[in-house]
Amino acid sequence: MSKTLTIPQAGDLALDTGEVLCKLPTDALHNRLHALAESAKEARENLEATELAALVLCALELEHQKKVARVQPWKEWIKSNCDFSHATFTRYARVLKAARAGAIDNLAPELIPETAPSLMSQDELRDTGNALANALQGLGGIRQLYLQLEIIALPGGKKDNSEAKGGKVPTEDEDAEELFTGRLRPLGDLFAKKRHLKLRPDQARKMEALLLSYLDDLKLIK
Segments making up each domain of the chain, as ranges: 42-154, 172-210
- Give me the pLDDT at residue 159, please: 41
Burial 181-195 (b: 16+ CB within 10 A, else e): eeeeeeeeeeeeeee
- Scanning 4-82, the segments in alpha helix (DSSP H) are 17-22, 29-68, 74-81
From CA 135, how far away is CA 115, in angstroms rounded?
19
Output helix, strand, coil percentages for the chain, rounded to the nearest 5: 70, 0, 30
Give Cα 138 to chain centroid, integer Å: 12
- Give me the pLDDT at residue 16, please: 55
Written as tens digits, the pLDDT of the chain (222 aa) is: 445 555 555 555 554 555 555 555 556 788 888 888 888 989 999 999 999 999 999 999 999 999 887 767 888 899 999 999 999 999 999 999 999 999 998 999 999 999 999 999 999 999 999 999 999 998 989 999 998 898 887 665 544 333 344 444 444 454 566 667 777 888 888 888 888 888 888 888 888 888 888 787 777 775
- Give me the pLDDT at residue 123, please: 93
The CA–CA distances, whole Å, from 56 to 94, 107, 142, 188, 211 equal: 10, 11, 11, 34, 26
- Give the CA count within 13 Å in the CB-facing half-sphere of 78: 20
| Residue 105 and residue 95 in contact, taking contact as beta carbons nearer than 8 Å | no
